[in-house]
Amino acid sequence: MRFAVDAHAIGRHLTGNEVYVRNLLKALAAEEHDCDYIAYVSSEEASSQVPAGIRSRLVAANPFRRLGWDLAARVREDRPDLLHVQYTAPLGCPVPIVASVHDVSFLEHPEYLTPARARQLRWTVRATVRRAAAVLTGCEFSKQSILNAYPELEPESVVVVPYAAAPEFRPISPEAAKVETLKRFSIQAPFVLSVGDIQPRKNPIGLIQAFARLVRAHPRLKHELAFAGKDTWFSGRVREAARESGVADRIRFLGFVTDEDLLYLYNSADVFAFPSLYEGFGIPPLEAMACGRAVVCSKVSAVPEVVDGAAIVFDPHSPDEVARALADVLLDSELRGRMERLGLRRAAHFNWRETARRTLEVYQAVAERRLRSASLPAGSRPMVHR
């Protein structure tokens, strides 16, 4: 069987989407099977990041050209048994579609996106899931959100396949990590780390407010707050909040960082904070746990399901509650050590090999249905659910 994956996110700093497709391809390539894979990427540099054993093909980086013509044309040439996309399928796709929909925040909280982006996703995702032979998502919370948003879908067509931290995220010597962090980012003080694009959904302003309260309530703490994530249209408001916080000299914006940088940052931080207002899964807490870091995180959307008692949770809308969670972990070394141990065990429950195995099962089921349908007389073929 031949399976194609839209991997245009690779190399484009598209954060969660890029992390997902890069790790999925790597794990699929490691599986022992007789499948043929094609990854559609948008640059020669991205081709070099596709694992050995998976053929890469170039498609346009421009989304209008890629989705309007280029990707479907490549699929017609390569004739795979299906195409796996994230959120949006190309127009006129001639093969079955498997769509990964990580969350429906664009429907439930459109204020977290620009109006144009929210409108685009409302239209393209609805069109995609109605055509999809299967929809993949990371947890039960997101499955139920998808079914609520698109009640025309059959529940069995939405399949939960959890994600994971990449195997590169692991405990290393804290001393060595701090040396690298100093060299790469000039961070000398102990620090609280947060990872994610600087956007409303990640709640960076709420974390800044909580950090300011923490510093005022516990002046003996010398910690800084470090944000690792690329700038977005929302960054100006976040930097203004930092300037007005009273602790601007202790807040660092590191920009987009590589996985190698993240490994050192996770391992040298005292605690990892994830105050997100909405997540369809939330990989960064698992990455931090896999590195042996204590995690404090929000108790809304999918995050509690993912961390499952291995983190200190808080109401992300309450800066006072966030500050108390940070203080509890930073001031109580016994609690911090216990959360680090629980986190390591929780992160070990997830791995990309299992994600790849379960994804491949979906691919094979969709391809087999297609073959069975093609072998039936035209008048007796089952109607496709839409």
Tens-digit pLDDT profile for residues 102-114: 999 999 999 999 9
State the pLDDT at residue 376: 62
Q: Clarify whether residues 280 and 246 are in a common domain.
A: yes
Q: Clarify whether residues 182 and 314 are in a common domain.
A: yes
DSSP label at residue 49: T
DSSP string, 303-333: HHHHHTTSSEEE-TT-HHHHHHHHHHHHH-H
Q: Clarify whether residues 72 and 57 are in a common domain.
A: yes
Closest Cα to residue 6, out of 51, 67, 49, 48? 67
169 inside domain: no
- Give the pTM: 0.92
Domain containing 209 — which CATH number?
3.40.50.2000
Tokens 């031949």 belong to 2
Q: Clarify whether residues 72 and 203 are in a common domain.
A: no
Q: How many helices (H) does the chain have, and how many strands (E)? A: 16, 13
Record the tokens describing residue 169, joined without a space.
């995220």
Provide φ and ψ at 63, rounded to 5°: -65, -35
Q: Clarify whether residues 87 and 157 are in a common domain.
A: yes
291 inside domain: yes
State the pLDDT at residue 13: 72
Per-residue three-class SS string for 72-88: HHHHHHHCCCEEEEECC
Who contacts 221 (Cβ-Cβ below 8 Å, separation ≥6)? 214, 215, 327, 330, 331
State the pLDDT at residue 73: 96
> Which amino acid, 327?
A
State the pLDDT at residue 381: 46
Q: Clarify whether residues 194 and 238 are in a common domain.
A: yes
Q: Clarify whether residues 187 and 312 are in a common domain.
A: yes
State the pLDDT at residue 375: 66
385 inside domain: no
CB 207 within 8 A of CB 225: yes
Query: What is the rounded distance in angstroms from the CA atom of residue 158 to the CA atom of residue 146?
Result: 8
Query: What is the rounded distance in angstroms from the CA atom of residue 183 to the CA atom of residue 174?
Result: 14
pLDDT in tens, 119-165: 999 999 999 999 999 999 999 999 999 999 999 999 999 999 999 99
Q: How many domains does the chain have?
A: 2
DSSP label at residue 68: I
Residues spanned by the domain of 252:
174-347
State the pLDDT at residue 379: 53
Q: Clarify whether residues 45 and 147 are in a common domain.
A: yes
Ranges of the chain whose pLDDT falls below 70: 14, 375-386
Q: Clarify whether residues 11 and 152 are in a common domain.
A: yes
